[in-house]
Amino acid sequence: MKSIRRVLALASLAVCSVALSGADKELNLFAWSEYVPAKVIEGFTKETGIKVNYETFASGEEMLAKLLAGGAAYDLIQPPDYMAETMIKNGLLAPIDFSRVPNMANLAPEFLRLPHDPAQKFTVPYMAGTVGIVVNTERIKTPIMGYADVFQPRHKNRIVVVNDNRELITWALYVAGGQTNEINAASIAKARPILARWIPLIKVFDSDSPKTALLNGDCDLGIVWSGEAALLYNENKKFVYVLPVEGAHRFVDLMAIPKGAPNPAAATLFIDYVLRPEVSKLISDAFPYTNPNAAARKLLSAEQLANPASYPPGAPVLGAMRAIGKEAAQVDKLVTDLKSAR
């Protein structure tokens, strides 16, 4: 087994040397906030000499808007699955040269050829997770099982949620009996009165670090990314994670190269570097989402694998968000209008 690992490591290094011969010494990374550990960037730069410029966004919609604005030339981006689907359909991503990504073999098969990229040509899984409810059980004594339990008048100004319009309307549709991707004029109209009741109850909208409001005691309930919930659980077991009974979905955040990226060889090299088990483990150590890298999971501790937010026990098979086309603008307008009116 050790000899096989050594061969794979040498092969990866050989690919790196080939890629480096033509790569620029810079990589412009556009990624989620609090998602790429400094140790990973530093290790990549030390090994390759490639400087990484790391710029962040707080939602897939923000990422796409800035990319389309053309104000900056990015080499590597981290779109969520549904946003990648939109980008692929509109010719905004470049095919990845997988001959230079031997560490793709480390990924679990269940994370490959997903609906957003069925031919597996344009994207590589980075981390996966869910969006669920965090309850401070020292402060909240009533059972919290779903969204309807969170958005109660008695919890006004004690709630933090991710600042993501697509997420917000999806939660409302779950409560109304709808489906994850059932977004049209009729369902948006059905979601409006629900969101109109909910939004005035929310104290904090925060996609970058929603755990902060829970840690400092400003909020007692949160609907947050599962990695944030996992960090809260590690900090204090009073923070309990709940998948809402009305419905939940799995997201997969990806690595992709925008069409026309100035440094695609450097981007490809970074993708392969991140997929090394020991590097992927560093990501799980810092940001404990669900790791799609099967080889990296073998390096995680029993405690990490038992974190109920990172790897929910007995969780049902969850669907994923899909691209919704022109309805995305209607969703953004609805939520923006309701926020302005509160």
Q: Is 51 exposed, middle or buried (0-12, 13-18, 19+ CB in 10 A)?
A: middle
CB 121 within 8 A of CB 95: yes
First CA to last CA distance, the chain: 61
Q: Report the 10 Å Cβ neighbour count for 3.
A: 7
- Give how far the C-alpha of residue 66 lies from the chain's centroid of Cα atoms, to the nearest Å: 18
Q: pLDDT confidence of 341, banded at 50, 70, 90?
A: confident
Q: In this structure, is the dihedral angle defined by the CA atoms of residues 28, 84, 181 and 112, taken in order, positive or negative? A: negative
Q: pLDDT confidence of 23, banded at 50, 70, 90?
A: low
Higher pLDDT, 22 or 68: 68
- In angstroms, how far apart are the furthest CA atoms of the chain? 64
**What is the C-alpha separation between 92 and 105, in angstroms, rounded?**
26
DSSP code at position 154: G
pLDDT in tens, 124-166: 999 999 999 999 999 999 999 999 999 999 999 999 999 999 9
Name the 3-class secondary structure at 54. Answer: strand
Sorted by where each starts, the structural domains of the chain and their CATH numbers stand as 2-128+252-305 (3.40.190.10), 129-249+315-341 (3.40.190.10)
pLDDT of residue 186: 94
Name the 3-class secondary structure at 262. Answer: coil
Name the 3-class secondary structure at 180. Answer: coil
pLDDT in tens, 237-251: 999 999 999 999 999
pLDDT in tens, 162-184: 999 999 999 999 999 998 899 99
Amino acid present at 215: L
Model confidence at 6: pLDDT above 70: no
Tokens 């990226």 — which residue? 261
pLDDT of residue 84: 97
With a CB cutoff of 8 Å and minimum separation 6, the contacts of 275 are: 101, 103, 104, 106, 107, 124, 293
- For Cα atoms 47, 271, 304, give the angle at the middle one, nearest 5 degrees: 90
Rounded alpha-carbon distances, angstroms, from residue 184 to 89, 187, 198, 237? 19, 5, 20, 40
Model confidence at 22: pLDDT above 70: no
* pTM score: 0.89
- The pLDDT mean for the chain works out to 92
pLDDT in tens, 257-312: 999 999 999 999 999 999 999 999 999 999 999 999 999 999 999 999 999 999 99
Model confidence at 333: pLDDT above 70: yes
Q: What is the mean pLDDT of residues 81-95?
A: 96
